[in-house]
Structure 1
Amino acid sequence: MLLRIKSGKTNIHLQVSLKLSLFISIAFKLTCRHHSSSETEIESERITKIINDHPFPNHPLHLTLCHQIPPVVLSPTFVENVLGRLFAAHSNGLKAFEFFKYSLLHSQFCPSSDAFEKTLHILTRMRYFDKAWELMEEIRRSHPSLLTLKSMSIMLSRIARFQSYEDTLEAFERMEKKIFAGKKFGTDEFNILLRAFCTQRQMKEARSVFNQLHSQFSPNAKTMNILLLGFKESGDVTAVELFYHEMVRRGFKPNNVTYNIRIDAYCKKGCFGDGLRLFEEMKQINCSPTLETITTLIHGAGVARNTTKAKELFNEICMRNLLPDIGAYNALMSSLIRSRDMKSAASLMNEMETKGIGHDNVTYHTMFLGLMRAEGIDGVSKIYHKMIKRDFVPETRTVVMLMKFFCENRQLDLALNLWSYLLERGYCPHGHALDLLVTGLCSRGRVREAFECSKQMLERGRHMSEAVFCMLERCLLQGGEVDKLKQLDQMIKKLQAVLPPSTGHAVGIHTFTDMN
C-alpha cells in the first residue's frame, strides 16, 4: 500500500515536472518568436530608411543592398515588411523594384505572392508600366505560382486609371495570352476586368465590357455586386437602384454585400431614412446584417447629424453578438465630430486605447479634421505631438492635410518638424506635401530651408512639381543663390534620364538665359 502511495506521488511529481517543462519550453519559444518578430520589424525599418535615403540615381543601389543585407536575413516576412514600408513611404518605385530583384537573386526562400504584388503596386502607382510588365514576364518564367488574381487586378486597375479604355482591354488580352498562358480565363478574371473600370468610376466603359463579354464569361452574384459598387462610387443613387432592379430581373438574389452597397449609396447622399429602410428590409428577408452594415449606418447617422441614432446603432453591434472593430469606433467618432461633440470624440479615442483597439490613420485624420474646426492650432498641435510620441506615421492624405493646415496658420516650424519626422522614419513625403511646405517657406522668406527640402526630395529619386520649382527658381535668383539653382537643375535632369515622363513635373531651368 505504501509503495503504491509512493508510486502515485512519484507519478504526480513526474506529471507536474513534465507540465512545467512543457510550459517553460512553450514560453521560451513564444518569447523567442516575439523577440525575433521585434528584430525583424527593427531591421525592416532600418533597411527601408537606407533604401529611401539612397542617392538616386547617382550610385547603384545593388552594392548598398549587398553590404547592408546578408542573404540569410531575406525571409519572406522580412521582404514583405520592407516592401510594405516602401509602398507606404512613397519611395521611388525603381528602388523597390531593385530590392525585390535582389531578394530573388540572393534569397534561399521562395518569394511570396504578397512581396511580388507589393512591388507591382509600387511600380504601377508611379506609372512605371514598362518595368511592371518586365516584372510580370520575369515572374512568369521564374515563379509562375506567384501570379494571382490580385496581381492582375493591381495591373489592370492602374492601366484603367492612367491609360485608355483600349489600353486596358489590350492589357487584359496580354494577360490571357502571355502572362497567364495556359490558364483558361473565366468569371473570376472577367470580374477583375470589370473591377478595374468600376474602381475608377468609369461606368460607361464597365457597362460596355459587360455587354460585350457577359455571354462569354458567365456573370455571378459577385459580378453584379462589382457593377453595383461602381455605380455607388460614381455617386449616382438612381443608377444604383436601376441596376439593382436589373440584377434582380436577371435572376440574381441580393445578399448582404448587395444591401451594404445600397445602404452606403443612400447614406453618403444624406438619405439616412432610406438606409434604415433597407436595414429593416434585410431583417425581414433573413439577410443577416454584418458589422460592415451597421458601421455604414453609423456613418450615415453622422452625415444626418443624428448622434443619438449613431450611438444606438453602435450599441446594437454587441446585441447582435458582433465585436466592434476600429472601423466601427471610427464611424462613431466621425458622427460625434460632425455634431461638434469633441469631448465625447476624445473620450472615445481614449476608450479605443483602453480596450486595446488602438488608432489607425482614419482615427487621427478624423480627429484632426474636428480639431481644426473646433479648437484650431492648439488642439491639432496637442494630438499631433501625441501621434509623433507614439511613433505613428500618418498616411499621405493626413500628411498633406496637416502640412496645409500648419502652413496656412503660419506654423512653419511644425510643418518642418513633420517633414523631418517623416524623413527620419524612412519616408519620402508626397509631392503635394513638398508643394505646400516650399510655398509656405518661400512666402516667409525662408528660401534656404525650402531649397533643402526640395533637394532632399530629389535626392530620394522623387520629382518636384514644375510650379513649385518655378517659384523656388525666382526666389533663389532674387537672393543671388545661382549655385543652388544649378544644383537643383542638375538633379532634376538626372532624374529625367531614368524616370518615366509625367506632366506637371519640373524640367529644370528655363526662365532666364544667362547662367554664366
Structure 2
Amino acid sequence: MALLISCGEVSSSQFTVLRLLNQSLDFVSDNVSRIFARIFTNLRDFEMRLSCTDRPQSIPVDHSHLYTENWFSDKKDYDQKGDPEAIFNVLDSILKSSLDRLASLRESVCRRKSFRYDETISMHTSIMRDLCLQGKLDAALWLRKKLIHGGFIPGLITHNHLLNGLCKLGNIEKADGLIREMWETGPSPNCISYNTFIKGLCSVNKVDKALYLFSTMDKYGVKPNRVTCNIIVHALCQKGLMGSTILEEILDTSQASAPLDIVTCTILMDSCFKDGNIVQALRIWKEMSQKEVPPDSVVYNVIIRGLCSSKKIVAAYGFMCDMVKRGVTPDVFAYNTLISALCKEGKFDEACDIHGQMQRCGVAPDQISYKVIIQGLCIHGDVARANEFLSSMLESYLLPDVLLWNVIIDGYGRYGDTSSAVSVRNLMLSYGVKPNIYTNNALIHGYVKGGRFNDACQFKDQMRYTKIYPDATTYNLLLGAACTMGRLWLAFQLYDEMLKRGCRPDNITYTELIRGLCWKGRLQEAENLLFRMQASGITLDHVPYWILVKKYTRLRRLDKACLVYKKWLMTRNGEAACPSDLNHMHTEPQ
C-alpha cells in the first residue's frame, strides 16, 4: 500500500487506511492471548510449519516472522506449555513491524503532498506569466497576492514579467509599489528589473525620475549595464537633450567601462538626423568605422532614412551599395525608404528600378512597397503602370487593402476611363474586398468626368441597396455636374434630396449652387444664398466670393463687386456682421 501511495496511485483515502490499521492494532492488542495460545501449544509443529513453508523470491519477507522464528529457536528448554512472555515478545515484534510500515506510509503521503504542492506553484507562476503577456495584470497581481498569503513568494523572473506588463500599460504607480514590495519581502530586484522600470518611466515622460533611479542603483547594490545606459540615452535624445551635460557624462561613464556600443551609436545618429545635423551623424558613423564596430542593418536603415529625409537620395543609395559590399543584406525597410523618397521627388522610373532590384535580390516586397509606388504612379497620372503593379501584387499572393483599389479606381475616374474603373471594381469584388463610400464616389467621379451623368445618378440610386449610402461628397459631385450642364433645377432637386436624407451640406455644396446661379445670371439669388451660408455658421472660404466678384466684374457692375469684396474682407478678419448691415453698406465710386 505504501508503494502505491508513493507512486501516486492512491488518493486522499489514506486516512481511511490509517483508521483501519489502528482498528486492526487494537483488535490484536485486545485478543492476542486468545489468538496466540493455540499457536504456541506445540512448538515442534510450529517450527515444522516454519521450516516447511516455501516463500517465493518475488514476495518481500516480513521481518516480524523472522524475529518470531529466531526467538523460538533460542528457547531450547521449552516445556510445551504456553509461555506468556513468548506471546508478548511476538506481539512486540509485530507492533514494531506495524509501526515501521506506518512510518513508511506517512513518509509516502508527505512526499505526495510535497509533489502536488510544488506542481501547483509551478502551474500558478506559469499562469501569472501568461496573464502578463496577455495584458491581464489585475488577475496576475491577484494570483501573486494569493500565493504570498499561502506562504510562497514567486521568483524574480515572474516579478520581472509583472513589472514589464505594468510598465507597458503605463501603470507606473503599481510598478513602483511592486519594486518596493520586492525590496521588503523579496525577491530583490536585479538590473533587469530596474531596466524595465526605467524604460516605463521614460515611456510616460518621467525622465527626471528615471535619471534619479539610474543614479541610485549603485546605492542598492545593483550596477547599471549597457542596456540601462542606452535606455537613458534614448530618452534624453527624444527630449532634445542631445548635447546636454548629463548625456555626455553618461556616455563617458559607459564608454569608460565598455567599448563603443552599436546600439548607442544608432540612437545618437538617429537623433542627429531628426535634428537635421547630418554632419554630426556622419561623424559618429566615421568613429564607428575607425573603432571597427561592425554595422548591422538597423544602422544602415537609420542612415538611409535620415539622408532620404534630407533629400540626399544619391548619398542614401551610396550607403545601400556600401551595405551590400560589407555583406549586410538590405531589408524591406531600406528598399521602402528609398522607393518612397524617389516617388516624392517624382522619379518614378528610378523607383520602379529599385522595386525590380528588390525582387531580384530575393527581398519580397510587402504591402508598403506596393502602396508607395502605386500611389505615386496614380498621382503622377500613370494609372496603367500602377495597375500593372497591382496585378504583380496579386500574383505575389498579397491582397491589397481597399485603399489601394480605391486609388486605382480614382486614377481611372479622374481621366474619365469608367470602363477600366468598373473593371478594377469587379476584380476587387472577386477577391472578396468590400467597396466603401470612397470606392463609389470614385466611380461617380469617373462617370461625371466621362460625361455619363445619367449613369452616375443611377449608380447613386443603387448604392442604397448595398447599404453604402451617399454622403456629401457624392451629392457635391452630382451637383457640380448638373450646374456645369446648366440643369440648375436638377441641382436644387439633388440639394433637396440631400436634406431629406439627413446629409448636411457643406461649403462645396453651396459653392457649386452659387456657381450654377451665376452661370444662369441669377446673381441676386446667388448673393442671398451666400448670406444664408454665412448666417448658418458654415465655414466659408474665398471661392464663393470670388465667383460673385468675377461675375459682377464681367458685367461691369463694379459697385456690386466691391461690396462683395468688402464682405469677404470682414469675414476673413473675423468681424461679425448681420446680412442687413451688409446690404446697407455704401461704396465709393471706383
Indicate if the aligned counterparts of 2:201 and 2:210 stay in contact, CA closer than 8 A. Answer: yes
Q: Secondary structure at the match of 2:217?
A: helix
* Aligned residue number for residue 357 of structure 2: 421
Aligned residue identity for 1:288: K
Counterpart check, 1:430 vs 2:366: yes
Deviations 1:414-441 (A, max 9, x none): 4334322322222232213322221111
RCO (CA 8 Å, sep 6+): is it higher in 1 or 2?
1
* Aligned residue number for residue 155 of structure 2: 220
Listed as ranges, the matches of 1:150-189 within 5 Å are 186=123, 189=126
Whole-Å Cα distance in 2 between the matches of residues 388 and 298 of structure 1?
Answer: 30
Of 387, 405, 409, the residue aligned with 1:469 is: 405
* Aligned residue number for residue 233 of structure 2: 298
* Aligned residue number for residue 311 of structure 2: 377
Q: Which runs of 5+ in 1 are unaligned?
A: 1-181
Residues 218 and 491 from structure 1, CA distance in 2 versus in 1: closer, same or farther, beyond 3 angstroms?
farther
Listed as ranges, the matches of 1:242-391 within 5 Å are 242-248=177-183, 250-304=185-239, 305-307=241-243, 308-320=245-257, 322-337=258-273, 339-371=275-307, 376-378=310-312, 380-391=313-324
Q: Secondary structure at the match of 1:442?
A: helix
Whole-Å Cα distance in 2 between the matches of residues 472 and 268 of structure 1?
Answer: 40
Deviates more, 1:451-460 or 1:337-346: 337-346
Deviations 1:124-155 (A, max 9, x none): xxxxxxxxxxxxxxxxxxxxxxxxxxxxxxxx
Deviations 1:243-297 (A, max 9, x none): 4335445533111011112222333445443333222211122212111111222
Instruction: Look at both structures and tell me which one has the larger radius of gyration over its CA atoms.
Output: 2
Shift of 1:470: 2.2
Indicate if the aligned counterparts of 2:393 and 2:399 stay in contact, CA closer than 8 A. Answer: yes
Whole-Å Cα distance in 1 between the matches of residues 303 and 194 of structure 2?
Answer: 29
Whole-Å Cα distance in 2 between the matches of residues 248 and 227 of structure 1?
Answer: 15
Aligned residue identity for 2:318: H
Whole-Å Cα distance in 2 between the matches of residues 503 and 237 of structure 1?
Answer: 43
Name the Cα RMSD after superposition: 4.1
Aligned residue identity for 2:311: I
* Aligned residue number for residue 348 of structure 2: 412
Indicate if the aligned counterparts of 1:310 and 1:332 stay in contact, CA closer than 8 A. Answer: no
Deviations 1:285-315 (A, max 9, x none): 2212111111222223322314244343233
Shift of 1:464: 0.6
Whole-Å Cα distance in 1 between the matches of residues 128 and 353 of structure 2?
Answer: 45
* Aligned residue number for residue 232 of structure 1: 167
Counterpart check, 1:457 vs 2:393: yes
Whole-Å Cα distance in 2 between the matches of residues 230 and 482 of structure 1?
Answer: 54
Whole-Å Cα distance in 2 between the matches of residues 245 and 465 of structure 1?
Answer: 49
Aligned residue identity for 1:319: A
Deviations 1:322-356 (A, max 9, x none): 23332122123234445543212102113323444
Whole-Å Cα distance in 2 between the matches of residues 385 and 482 of structure 1?
Answer: 44
Whole-Å Cα distance in 1 between the matches of residues 314 and 404 of structure 2?
Answer: 27
Shift of 1:483: 7.3
* Aligned residue number for residue 196 of structure 1: 133
Indicate if the aligned counterparts of 2:140 and 2:162 stay in contact, CA closer than 8 A. Answer: no
Whole-Å Cα distance in 2 between the matches of residues 195 and 503 of structure 1?
Answer: 39
Q: Work out the number of aligned pairs and report it.
A: 318
Q: Which runs of 5+ in 2 are unaligned?
A: 1-118, 445-454, 459-590
Aligned residue identity for 1:280: S
Residues 388 and 507 from structure 1, CA distance in 2 versus in 1: closer, same or farther, beyond 3 angstroms?
farther
* Aligned residue number for residue 448 of structure 1: 384
